[in-house]
Structure 1
Amino acid sequence: MSLKKLLFSFLLAASTFMATNAQYYQPGPQVETFYSEIDDSEQPYALYLPEDFDPDKIYPLLVMLHGAMSNHRLALKRVFGKTNLPGESDAEASRYFPEWDNVQYIVVAPYARGTMGYVGIPEDDVIQVIDKCRKDFNIDRNRIYLTGLSMGGGGTLFMGMAYADLFAAIAPVCPAPPDEYFDIAENALNIPVSVHQGGADPVVRPEGTRRIVDELRNIGTMVEYHEYPGVHHDSWANAYENEKIFEWFDGIERDPFPARVRYATKWYKNPKAYWVKIDKLTPGMLARIDAEFTGSNAVVVKTDNLDAFSLNLKGHPRFDTSNLLSVTIDGKEINSLPKYNHSFVRKEGKWETGKYHAPVVAKKQGLEGPMYEVVTDRHVFVYGTQNDSGKEEINQRKEIAKEAADFSVSFGGFFEQNSEVNPRVIADQQVSRDDLLHSNLVLFGTSETNSVIADMADELPLQLEAKGDSLGLAYCYPYNGNLVVVSSGLPFWTFVPDENGRETDQVIRFGGATGAQALKGMKDYILFRKSNHNVLVEGIFDNDWKLPVDVIEKLESNGVVVRE
């Protein structure tokens, strides 16, 4: 072999080694980061590798979610049964990792933006950390587990249901679930659940946790319930004592082909579980599917609020490709072809075989709303610089956009969690071609004040024309393969207490927050007068991003131009 060829072979081997060993991890506890497209930031997570870690060995993965006012470092300690020392603050306890017994698990604890819960941006962070672990290590696909305490216990319930076929089992501890959990609790059919609760918990009351356990049992979930008499909110000390949570997860494996799949969702964001996929639904309306093998090549399906679905049966032990598949949908039997993917659509109220293909303009995964979804992906806040009265007005517009980009969370005045999301805030003239192609945009103003809105005007459905300062209009809409939110008039978080100074249910529904956090609970569009609790019109665009006739009439009668 010539020297030139020898050198080439050496460089090729070296580059291959570097490519496959680009990331070095040490055994034991450590902190790593991943890159978030949402705001171009490095987000931390705590990671544990066994002391005798072997990169060629296949490991189970345990995901641990921390509670409010906590962090990833403390969460990693908690799941190994390590509480604070007497008199030790959380800040002090976060500074070090103590020694603990070795377990044959890879354990990860996402930071997930601190105290934002686990819906939306933090939810995406958790999934990214799981994906990164599956990329970096040999993870057993059927042995991924989820646990968490307090806010993280609620996140365990929600994410366990929202990603029903991702986890083999979940273990929520003193769980405080978000509202989004309760609509999809039925998704737990094939997920073993171990719930832990303090009997004297003043923060997460045991009565509420017992109701959650009873509801899960009533819908057929395999549930264990552990209540610790006299224990307050720190029931995680009991739940994770002596690393016993790992013993509970041991031996539980995810079944990728359960005989029965029951799945509910409101959004295309999470359309599938196991071998069932919902292809067409009405975003914002809870769609349900219950599919069960009743024999070899015989499936009975019940549906609610959906118009198309698919069954991916490749590898299912009860499906024989050499014979026809008998599918009974809502009482009607359909003999389908002997293939792996069987798709069905509802036409004029009747089910038939066929694949639903979403039109280009239709709602679909990633392009469906509601407004808060715009900021759960890569996004930019944009203020206008057109037709201003001077520098002072430009600064006022900029401050409004900066306030919108503040994701801080306030909890009843007791404490405030600083913003853990830091998107860009730029002027309309700074929006680049890359921004238009790869980012969702939150646009402030009208076509007269914001040049980006003006450039999009012919493709946007609504424009606030009414003069005066008493109206606020906000809506989301697809543009160039991304989503935009347009906020005209009063900012969407504008809140004025009622005449008695009280907050209303609607304010609580909007998160009781300023800035982007106020988008939580809002739908695709809202028009309000003086205060966002005084709603004139609100709702969800249909599947083709159209408005009902009665909504158009209400909008136009209140000074909004509607383009059909």
Structure 2
Amino acid sequence: MLAGRPAFVRDVDEAGALAQFAGAIEQQSDPFAAVRGARRLAYRSPLDGHPSTFALYAPARLEPGKRYPLVVALHGLNGRPMNMLRWAFGRDDPGHDGEWEDRHPGDFPDYPAFVVAPMAHFNSMYRHAAEDDVMAVTDWVSRTFPVDPRKVSITGPSMGGTGTAWVGLRFADRFAAAAPLCGYHFNYFLRAPGEFARLHPWEQHQAEERSTVSWAPNGLHLPLYIVHGTRDLPEENSGVLIDRYKQLGYGLLEEHPDEGHNVWQPTYENLKGLGWLTGPTRPSDPNRVVLRTDSLRYDHADWVRIARLERSSAWGEVSAQRRTRGAGRAYEVRTAGVAAFELTPPTSGSSIQVTVDGARIELADGEPMAFERRAGRWERGLTPPGPGLHKRARLAGPLRDVHHEPLVLVYGTADPALTRANEQVARWFGSIRPGFEIDYPVVADTALTDEMARGKALVLVGGAQSNLVTRRLDDRLPIHVTTSPRRVQAGARTFTGDELGAAFVFPNPEQPDRYVVVLAGADVAGTLRAMSLPDFLPDFVVYDRSLAPARGQMVLGRATPLAAGLFDEHWTLPSP
């Protein structure tokens, strides 16, 4: 009775695949060597230590010595890996929801490419830990199977379309093509100049940073295939990225079918989408490179690396052109917002001439092409950072940057009156946003061990009087929250008030290459008020009950913090 049911067939197939894996492991052979067709797999995420699932399609036939394209397919809101794998092959079934499709993969046509669909922490918008999940899965597939690194592409619909541009343009030198379908590339605040003008400076920057259009200059060698239905309003959700690519003169194919939001069916059906995605080949050593970033998490593209921005959490850009000059090479470089950079091309020449913003610098063959602006002039060489703290790659803030890191949330128990509130806030902060599936460890301060903390960022909930770990670090932190007396001390400034508290990110004094985040209230109400912190956050916020209107919002809006902003480049509080 069960033999003909799709769910039973699927279960038998997956049980057989599991048995095959187990047999290969027992025989000490590669369990992935025989993977063919569609399979559910998982890897252990370094961020929360739990399995992160993905769906993989492997071609039925692999020729020895040949490398194949890889397509990364990002699901939309409420989507699942196998459901997205079906869609990528043009097999969306409008009669069933994504959960049903995920449970019923069915048969896949033979196609000469690998296709992988990450879970990426579910409804994550592909930001923070989810972005890292996409790249981790891409890296794993590329290492494990015969993938051509110059033919890796990325696509997705709706939320996955936004994620396609988000990931593709931040890691543009990793992808040969991108097809963002019916995505959202324009932050609301950029649509409304009046609203934008009322934002705090860090909110204005984060609104720009959240728009994939701001990252478009990186797409010089990343052709886009953008599809947006004429009845999917506003069309400018995709139109802004289309317009920017046209302004830049970059490779673009656009389609505007008479459809609503569902443009993925006509785009992916009959393997049309896969055909376009597996066509382009990324140049291995391009003569021109453009890199735009506001964070040294994304510090390189091809042979250009930004070593230091003029200001963290601010835009920097390098545009570099290489030309042959006799037996040597000439490089012309233009910069904006950059304090230091390096060029690392795979080929050089007997002589090298580099012109940076009009200043000519001659280098001998083999001399490092590293440059730094000193006293307003570009000079060769990079100055090592001096003593003390410095903002740098993966340690520059703002506060939510910690969600790129493996972390442990530690709630304070030293003050029994605050223990429950501390734990509640710890679990709230660890959830990131509704729909974001991640399971960071949450432990009491008395349970944290050196082994648990090693190599991880710490989120400490509770000030020095309620959290034992905060107490140990407190004299080396810039902001102090006390319950008796109820106050916040930030440098020379003292704050008092109702529902008082503070939140900040800082290098961990005991592990200076890792973050520590402190969320602390001067009483129970101040502790719980931390859950009103909005999505866009700077490095530090001191708040009271006036933070309430920001709960569940992207920005502060009508909420008025007592103090908020960015630490300087040496992690020092700014002057009042």
Q: How does 1:365-384 map to 2 (within 5 A)?
A: 365-384=393-412
Task: Give the Cα separation in 1 of the matches to 2:130 and 2:266.
Answer: 27
Q: 1:112 aligns with which of 117, 120, 125?
A: 120
Q: How does 1:283-432 map to 2 (within 5 A)?
A: 283-296=312-325, 297-315=329-347, 319-320=348-349, 322-323=350-351, 325-339=352-366, 341-359=368-386, 361-389=389-417, 393-409=418-434, 417=435, 419-432=436-449
* 1:503 match: none
User: For the Cα contact (< 8 Å) 2:150–2:176, is it kept in 1?
Assistant: yes
**Total equivalences in the alignment:** 497
User: For the Cα contact (< 8 Å) 2:425–2:528, is it kept in 1?
Assistant: no
Q: 1:80 aligns with which of 81, 84, 89?
A: 89
Distance 1:460 1:435, change over 3 A: farther
Q: 1:448 aligns with which of 465, 473, 477?
A: 465
Give the CA deviation at 1:484: 0.7
3-state DSSP of counterpart to 2:346? coil
3-state DSSP of counterpart to 1:345? strand
Give the CA deviation at 1:342: 0.7
Task: Give the Cα separation in 2 of the matches to 1:529 and 1:395.
Answer: 20
TM superposition score normalised by structure 1: 0.83
* 2:263 match: 235
Distance 1:42 1:370, change over 3 A: same
User: For the Cα contact (< 8 Å) 1:165–1:256, is it kept in 2?
Assistant: no
Distance 1:436 1:208, change over 3 A: closer
* 1:64 match: 73
Distance 1:408 1:114, change over 3 A: same
Task: Give the Cα separation in 1 of the matches to 2:297 and 2:455.
Answer: 18
Give the CA deviation at 1:338: 1.5
Task: Give the Cα separation in 2 of the matches to 1:124 and 1:19.
Answer: 30
User: For the Cα contact (< 8 Å) 2:213–2:240, is it kept in 1?
Assistant: no
Instruction: Output one character per residue of 1:74-118: Cα deviation in whole Å (capped at 9) or x when no partner.
Output: 110111011115x32333222212323211101000011111111
Instruction: Output one character per residue of 1:233-287: Cα deviation in whole Å (capped at 9) or x when no partner.
Output: 1100111110012221344111132221111111111100011000011220111
Instruction: Output one character per residue of 1:522-557: Cα deviation in whole Å (capped at 9) or x when no partner.
Output: 11111122143212222222222122223xxxxxxx
Give the CA deviation at 1:356: 4.0
User: For the Cα contact (< 8 Å) 1:358–1:364, is it kept in 2?
Assistant: no
* 2:137 match: 129
Task: Give the Cα separation in 2 of the matches to 1:462 and 1:426.
Answer: 23
Task: Give the Cα separation in 2 of the matches to 1:447 and 1:265.
Answer: 37
Task: Give the Cα separation in 1 of the matches to 2:73 and 2:64.
Answer: 22
| 1:198 equivalenced with 2:244 (yes/no) | no
* 2:200 match: none
User: For the Cα contact (< 8 Å) 1:288–1:303, is it kept in 2?
Assistant: yes
3-state DSSP of counterpart to 2:260? coil
* 2:529 match: 494
User: Please, which runs of 5 or more residues in structure 1 have no aligned partner?
Assistant: 1-14, 410-416, 496-513, 551-564
User: For the Cα contact (< 8 Å) 2:421–2:528, is it kept in 1?
Assistant: no
Give the CA deviation at 1:461: 1.5
User: For the Cα contact (< 8 Å) 2:408–2:453, is it kept in 1?
Assistant: no
| 1:521 equivalenced with 2:536 (yes/no) | yes
Question: Which stretches of structure 1, 4 residues or more, deviate above 4 A after TM superposition?
Answer: 15-20, 490-493
* 1:33 match: 42
Give the CA deviation at 1:176: 1.6
Q: 1:473 aligns with which of 502, 509, 524?
A: 502
Instruction: Output one character per residue of 1:329-377: Cα deviation in whole Å (capped at 9) or x when no partner.
Output: 1111111222274100111111100024344622222222111121321
Give the CA deviation at 1:18: 6.3
Instruction: Output one character per residue of 1:397-455: Cα deviation in whole Å (capped at 9) or x when no partner.
Output: 3223223333342xxxxxxx3x5111121111111102332211111111111110111
Give the CA deviation at 1:492: 8.0
Give the CA deviation at 1:487: 1.1
Root-mean-square deviation over aligned CA pairs? 2.4
* 2:190 match: none
User: For the Cα contact (< 8 Å) 1:437–1:482, is it kept in 2?
Assistant: no
Letter of the 1:396 partner, please give it: A
User: For the Cα contact (< 8 Å) 1:55–1:137, is it kept in 2?
Assistant: no
3-state DSSP of counterpart to 1:430? coil
Letter of the 1:427 partner, please give it: A
User: For the Cα contact (< 8 Å) 1:33–1:44, is it kept in 2?
Assistant: yes
* 2:575 match: 549
Letter of the 1:347 partner, please give it: R
Percent of aligned positions that are identical: 28
User: For the Cα contact (< 8 Å) 2:151–2:282, is it kept in 1?
Assistant: yes
* 2:203 match: none
Task: Give the Cα separation in 2 of the matches to 1:158 and 1:473.
Answer: 31
* 1:534 match: 560
Letter of the 1:402 partner, please give it: R
Letter of the 2:246 partner, please give it: R
Q: 1:224 aligns with which of 237, 241, 253?
A: 253
Task: Give the Cα separation in 2 of the matches to 1:22 and 1:313.
Answer: 37
